[in-house]
Structures are given as structure tokens and as C-alpha cells.
A and B are shown apart, each in its own frame.
Chain A
């Protein structure tokens, strides 16, 4: 046969089999990126979060109750979900009905309809939502019963009036999609309103700083937090948000700086626009970040005193329940909330194609041409998201997450979702066992734990 093929090749110079052997080093997506870089000479900028495969909460399972402990009756026996956040120093801590909050997403990155949808849904569910780079909009304040106001390095739109009418303040040191990086909002999204809020010319590519303009390091941060407390008369909690990298050190330093609440954002966390190399190659996944944060708090004997919110790729009630079981006090969702209100929804296919993508693959938040009206400032596109509808979608999604959390919590015999604990978990993979410090399923082995 081989001789025949060889003869044929010699005769015609045309192979009868087309080789499709892919390269493991240069698979198609790598080839595409090299070709794109060769064409454009600049890194790729995109939205959403990491697309690479990372260790996730899927690698943990719950151990339902049976003989050694008893479960709670579904739908009949109470399984509470309320949580108090930020009572370390604040006179008025945050009281939430559910331990799922909405992460900071800027007006600018999102349109006003998206922000309003999120605010309405959060209010209906008794949880908080968060501003973002660019300041607080009136629609957002009016639609959100509990609103966390971010103080970011850019200080766009930051003013003391909004500080005083916020329910909590979040000092953003970093975010999971780009720990160590600043913000980015490309010119097509800098409309007149966005520009006015940020004191920038319209239509320019806006670069937010990666460090705060008036402090560097934890000792300065301690003074900065005191300033924010003095301005708000010590009424409201101060959160500190860090992108997951050196989690143990960062959490300990945030405690030292006086945070009431620490938000740890894993590398699956989303962004409106960042370099792809940042999204895919910088940071620590959420799974080990939770454990590292909890250990740091426990070492300082501050676990459950300084509260921990975990974010970055939380998708379901199961994810949220696992984060709580590992020791978080609440979780926060950003990308998932966007998806609930329509991101990547199967509609307006031609508009996806015009962006060079399809529903399910779109990460073009940075372009401002969001086909479903979520991440855009274009009035025509934004009209596709009706705030009432968006709010209903997100409310339904949050309700589903809560029911899922309660389902697994009851199965583990817990009358409150915050009673979930590491002992309720087992790890499916050696990697997850090592990262979460949970025994590998069927063993009592925790890799890296010297005691076993």
C-alpha cells in the first residue's frame, strides 16, 4: 500500500490523503493568535474572564448525610441564608438575605439598563450590588437598596456625597482578571455621559491606573481606611478587594489595615477589557484562593470577624455552597450575573457574526457593540435589554442559586448555609485536594499536609 501511495505521489504530485495532524505546541488557536499578532502588532484586548481550563469547584463534591449524621427535610425544615457583613468597626453593618452579592461592574463597561437590571434584582433578592470604575449613577442608587461604592485607583466620579449615601465602601486594590493591572475602557464606549462622569474627553481610550494615587502599601492603606471612616463617621463597613495572587499576605495585610470585609477575586473573575495575556496568565484560581484566605484569617484569629467574600467564576449554587463550606462568608458574582441578563444569549446572531463571533463564544465587551445590550453604551443596542426583564432573569437565576445552596446544605444536615464546613467536602482530584486542603475522595490524604 505504501509503495502504491508513493508511486502515485511520484506520478501526480497530489497526495490521496490530506494530513490533519495537529501540533500540540501550535494548536489552531495559537496559530490564529500568532497570525493576529503578526497582522496587528499589539496584544489582544478582550472582555470576560479566563477561558483556559483551571481547577474549579467542580473538583469538589459534597458528602451528603446518611448514618453518621442526619439530613434536613427538603422544603420543610428551615435552612437559613441570611448573612451579616462588616460589623468589625462599622456602626451599620450590611445585612443580606442571601450570601450571594453582585460584584462591581462599572457604568461605562455596562450600560445603564444593565446596571438598573442588576440593582433591581439585587434589591428583590435582598442582597447588595456594587458600583465600579466610573462612579455611582442615579439609576443605580435608586434601584439598589444596598449599594457598595467602590474606591478605585482611577477615582473616576469619586465624591464624598456618594460615599455618604453608600451602604458600604470597597477599596479596590486589584481584581482577579488582572491582579497588578489597571482598568481599560476603549474609546467607543466613552460616550458623553461616561466621559462627563470620568472627567475625560469623549471617545478616547481610557486607561485607569493600577495603583491608587494617594497611598502605597498597607501602612498607607490603614490611614486611607481611617480617612474614609472619618468622612462617613464610622457608619458603614469598609471592604478591601484584592485580586488573588499572594492571597495569604494580602488578606493578612488587609486585616491589619482595618478592613471590615475582604473580597478575594480569583483569576476566573471577569473584566470589561484587559489584555488577554493578563486574563489567562496572571493570578491564582478561585479554588485555592478561598482556602488561602481562610487560613490567613484563621491564623490571625479573625475568621468570621473580618468577613470574607469570594468571587471569580462562581456559576451556581453548588459553587457558592462549596465556597462557603471552605470558609467564605459570602460569594460575589459578576460574569454570571451578566450572563443571566443576556450576555451570550442566542439572539441577534447577525450582530454576533459582525463581531466575528457567535453566541456562546462572545467576549467582545470591550468593543461596546454587545449584541444583547448588556455591555454597551449604544442606545439602539441597549434598548434590547429591558431593565424589568433583565431584573426578572437575574432574580430567577439568584433564586435558583439559593435553592441549590439550600438543597446541598440540607443534605449535609445544615440549618444555615453558613454552617457548611470543609468536613462536608471531598476532593475528586489530587490537585483539588492539595489546593483546597480537602481529603482526596476515598482517602484521608491531603497532599501537602505533613500530618497525613
Chain B
């Protein structure tokens, strides 16, 4: 099934995707429109040929959405399952509060990538901006390039892997040992994204858990 957003209304596309869609859906001329392919709950493949605006593939369940272009803010926000792939760069809040599924960004991601992530796995082939993985609760973030300042600020139990240079770490985010279990998970995520980096070049970061309970001695960290 093909949609051309030059002529077809966004509402028509999303309604179709919510009602027993065909296995393959192609979308042309997205022209940066917001809210493309949001709320899908179907085992389908959606290919979007061009750049998209806010919230593309938001709250995705089960489907595989591929964006052949750049993505605006909050691509795959609150994704539950399935996979969203951006062949270009992604703007801020990529994968925000994602509960599951996978987000792969072939280019760079802007600030607050993976903010409040709750189980999503995010692989960024390039670099991420400041405050990425802010309040990250669960899931994994793989950063093959550099990470901006305040990575993992107020992080809970999410795990971050970084290959490139680091800015200042966020509050309560510390480097941890890259154990065999973590190497295995990292390798599987790199393979899923089609990236051939060696796991040896990565460092692991997670929570020091010092902010898990209010403590006057840690007040300066907030």
C-alpha cells in the first residue's frame, strides 16, 4: 500500500495504519509533517521516504518503521515494541520514555536522546547531544560516537555504552565494569544495528544509586 502525503491526508494514513493494514506500507513526500505513523499496533513494515517532523512512529507497537531521511523531535517516543530506524539524523528527545522495542539512528541524535527511557534499546551510530539518557530508568543506549555533557543525569537502572569521547557525566552517573554479560548484550545490539564495531572500544555507564534515597549529604548532587 502506498501513500503520498502530497495528496493524501495524514489522518487517512494513520487511520489506515490502525485498521488491519497490509504488510508493506510506503509513504512518500512526508515533507517534515508531524505525527506520521503514530499509534501503530500491527506486524507490518512502514517505509517513509523523506524527512519527518515531530513524534514519527510515536507509541509504536510491533511494527518496523524505517525513515529514509532525518527525524524531527521525539521520534519513536514512548515506543512499546517493534523497531524504528532512522537512516539520517534525529532531533532532540529521540526515543523519549520508550518502554520497549528498538530505535536505531544511523546518524547523530540531538540532546536528551533516551530521556526517561523505560526499557527501550537505542543504538546511535553517531554522537548524542547533552542530557542524553536523563532520568533513564531501564533499557540500553549504545553511543558509537561521542556523548555530550551530563550524560545519564539522575539515571536509574538503564545501561549506557559509549565508544567515543565523553563530556561531563550527569549527576549519579558513573563508569562501571564492562562484564561478559554486558559485552554480550552490547554485541547483540551492535549486530542488530548492522554495526561492526568491537565491543572492546566501549565503556559502560550506569547509576551510582546515591540519589535513590533523599539524603542531606547528597543534596549538592541534585
Contact = CB atoms under 8 A, between A and B. Distances in A.
A199 B100 CA distance: 11
A158 B10 contact: no
Query: What DSSP secondary structure best describes chain A's contact surface?
Result: loop
Interface in A217-234: 220, 223-224, 226-227, 230-234
Given A199-B118, A223-B54, A214 B156 contact: no
Contact of B214 (A155, A163, A205, A227): A205
B74 interface: yes
Contacts of A214: 55, 73-74, 77, 93, 96-97, 115
B6 interface: no
Contacts of B55: 214, 223-224, 227
A320 B15 CA distance: 40
Contacts of B112: 213
Interface stretch (B35-43, B143-151, B176-184): B35-43
Contacts of B154: 207
A152 to B, nearest CB: 10
A226 B34 contact: yes
Contact of B39 (A186, A204, A231): A231
Interface in B114-131: 115-116, 118-119
Query: What DSSP secondary structure best describes chain B's contact surface?
Result: loop
A209 B54 CA distance: 21
B99 A159 contact: yes
Contacts of B54: 220, 223-224, 227
Interface string A138-171: 0000000000000000110011110110000000
A321 B99 CA distance: 43
A414 B183 CA distance: 72
B18 A233 contact: yes
Given A199-B119, A201-B157, A205-B213, A230 B14 contact: yes
Nearest to A208: B135
B116 A231 contact: no
Interface centre among B39, B99, B115 (most CB of A within 10 A): B39
Nearest to B158: A199
Which bucket holds chain A's interface residue count?
Answer: 35 or more
Contacts, number: 106
Given A205-B212, A224-B55, A158 B15 contact: no
A442 interface: no
A201 B137 CA distance: 9
Nearest to A212: B96
A447 interface: no
A42 interface: yes
A273 to B, nearest CB: 11
Contact of A230 (B10, B78, B135, B216): B10
Interface centre among B34, B41, B216 (most CB of A within 10 A): B34
B52 interface: no
A360 interface: no
A227 B34 contact: yes
B116 A213 contact: yes
B35 A155 contact: no
B33 to A, nearest CB: 10
Contacts of A155: 78, 96-97, 116, 118
B120 to A, nearest CB: 11
B96 A213 contact: yes
B142 interface: no
12 contacts: A42-B219, A159-B99, A163-B39, A199-B119, A205-B212, A209-B135, A213-B112, A215-B73, A223-B34, A230-B11, A231-B39, A233-B15
Interface of A: 40-42, 45, 154-155, 158-161, 163-164, 186-187, 198-201, 204-205, 207, 209, 213-215, 220, 223-224, 226-227, 230-234
